[in-house]
Amino acid sequence: MKRQDSEIFHDEALCKKSFVTGENFKSQNCLGVHLINDEQGEFYVFRVWAPNAQEVFLVGDFNDWKDTEPMTYDKETGIWEIITDLPNEMDLYKFHVTQQNGRKIMKIDPFSKMFEKRPGNASVVYIEKEKKWKDGLFKGRHKRSNHFKRPLNIYEVHASSFKQHTNGNPYTFKDLTEELVPYLVQMNYTHVEFMPLMEHPLDQSWGYQLIGYFALCSTYGTPEEFQEFVEACHLNNIGVLVDWVPGHFCVNDDALAYYDGTPQFEYVDPERAENRRWGSINFDLGRPEVQSFLISSILYWVETFHIDGIRVDAVSSMIYRNYDDGPFTLNHEGGYTNLEGYYFLQKLNAVMKNEHPEVLMIAEESSSETKITGSIENSLGFDYKWNMGWMNDILRFYEMDPLFRGDNFNLMTFSFMYMMEERFILPLSHDEVVHGKKSLMHKMWGDRYKQFAQLRNLYTYLITHPGKKLLFMGSEWGQFLEWKFNEELEWVDLEDELNQQMQFFTSELNEFYRQSSCLWELEDTRETIEIIDADNKSDTVLSFIRQGKKKKDFYIVILNMTPVERKNFQIGVPYEGTYEEVWNTEMKEFGGTWEKHNKSCETSNNEFKQFDYSIETTVPALGALILKPADVRINRKK
């Protein structure tokens, strides 16, 4: 039984029209599959955008995959539709499309909210149920507060390789609710970030080549299970971030690629459509229907799953025409900027700030030519940008033999020159522990003991350097082997005492960060830091102050980058009085050798650079110290 087009509601007609003008940011409410219940009975309506197709049939389990259910075409919008009572919920379906050139091909539903499990790839007739959320306190608190002035410490996770069952199957979100949420609490992280969770056909892409922009990958369980996971995180005061890929999509012939036989989701220019670097296809970000599709996708994830932040992947590839390998054309102004991508991202962030200003918008972007964070008028409008420069410099430095670190000390300190140009996240991410780059632990110079010492030093620098924090899973205990996307983490490492102590160190450091307001409440201002000494190349020791709102709320950070203990080491301090050690990476419980902290330090009147007073302490070999004022007098002379 079918219903006629005249019975479609007026608001659905408006929904279709706004989709093609690029202003429908809830287009999943119109396209895809929907259930209608009225006096005539129960029906399903299917809609798909394929403006240049000759013919489209709805096929599936319910009609033996035969062309018995023709869809009708709306010339004004390019949308095909059918209303029928044939399917049952959870049936499989596709659209049998006769493309512009007459080629017939089975295509997925771009708006499908569920796919069958691999190796199948059909869409599923799935109607989501409205969830009664219990996270109102968490959501309300975050709406009212300023996230720039809160701690943000992210644990980055690849969902299917965090843990796996004994048969090799990855954990679903039901499993992760039981295992990962308590672990996040134990490790004192404020947020968890997932590499893309949307449907993708190939694990080797890590989720960065998508086919389903509205569907949780079937490997990870059901949408309801993911909702329960997010709610459990929120009830434990943990935010949830998700990676999202609006720049390019999977080349699979049965997915979005040349859907109706013409450039539809992709650029008309084949050179601009082809993403040679990643073997994928670039979205035409200037096309209104594509803008509706992508912005609807991000809002769907935020609203359906209560996501607290989105990391937009590969922003550079979206805003520069010369980013990819191979030939490129200049824009109509004669420049390298991809204007369509630039204005799309501004539009995306404007919509997000209007709809959900509390949701963090994060850019993974590797250049310095374009302002990424800030107001829409002066930038792309993101809240945060990954600091790829800091990450590259720091890892080069820590991999280096200490004999050469003094001559390359600028790698350690250069970020101080530009740290306020954007709002940064400091990422030690998955990209740095794969493809022969070695794990963070393996990158460290020296024997195993020295590697752990330097890892503790590195994480202390991460936590005390201005900017929000991100660490990839397994790095918290010093996993030695590289990350493998198809295997679980090396949890067996934790049978070793040094790995246990490293894990404990990270947990304690994370809690130290959460409880230390001077490490985050002013970090979007220059007042957050004062350099004590960034020129000590001979000793290769870096020292600086992190300042909170109150004058006496500050830390002194000292990082020794050599395997030489520095006794009676002098640094300048801002005020006269007593300073006590509150953090020492070489304490025995962390895997070091020190059983007691340094004694409290009394100032002397010896001037040190811009400071009127100085103190002396012992800095462990390859160690890091943090001191705080215990009893000081605010009487700075200069």
Q: Which residues are catalytic?
A: 313, 364
Task: For residues 112 and 117, give the distance between their C-alpha atoms in angstroms, rounded to a whole number.
Answer: 14
Task: For residues 62 and 357, give the distance between their C-alpha atoms in angstroms, rounded to a whole number.
Answer: 43
Q: Among the residues of 489-578, which ranges form H helices?
A: 497-514
Q: Among the residues of 135-205, which ranges form H helices?
A: 136-144, 159-162, 173-187
What is the DSSP code (8-state) at residue 593? S
Task: For residues 85 and 172, give the distance between their C-alpha atoms in angstroms, rounded to a whole number.
Answer: 32
Nearest CA to 391 out of 420, 414, 359 is that of: 414
Task: For residues 256 and 250, give the distance between their C-alpha atoms in angstroms, rounded to a whole number.
Answer: 8
Query: How many residues are listed for the chain in this entry?
Result: 638
Q: Are 2 and 83 in contact (CB under 8 A)?
A: yes
Amino acid letter at 295? I
SS3 576: strand
Backbone φ, ψ for residue 65 (5° rounding): 60, 35
What would you measure as the largest C-alpha separation in the chain, in angstroms? 92
Task: For residues 411 and 169, give the distance between their C-alpha atoms in angstroms, rounded to a whole number.
Answer: 42
SS3 549: coil
Task: For residues 584 and 627, give the distance between their C-alpha atoms in angstroms, rounded to a whole number.
Answer: 9
SS3 604: strand
What's the alpha-carbon Rg for the chain, to the nearest Å?
A: 27
Q: Are 158 and 195 in contact (CB under 8 A)?
A: yes
Amino acid letter at 381? G
Task: For residues 473 and 481, give the distance between their C-alpha atoms in angstroms, rounded to a whole number.
Answer: 12
Per-position b or e across 487-509, b if 16+ CB within 10 A of its CB:
ebbbeebeeeebbebbbbbbbbb
Tell me which residue has tokens 């299970």: 225
What are the structure tokens assigned to 135, written together? 């996270």
Nearest CA to 361 out of 283, 425, 432, 427 is that of: 425
Task: For residues 554 and 546, give the distance between their C-alpha atoms in angstroms, rounded to a whole number.
Answer: 5
Tell me which residue has tokens 């050690």: 581
Task: For residues 59 and 125, give the distance between their C-alpha atoms in angstroms, rounded to a whole number.
Answer: 12
Task: For residues 82 and 63, give the distance between their C-alpha atoms in angstroms, rounded to a whole number.
Answer: 14
DSSP E strands in 122-169: the ranges are 123-124, 153-157
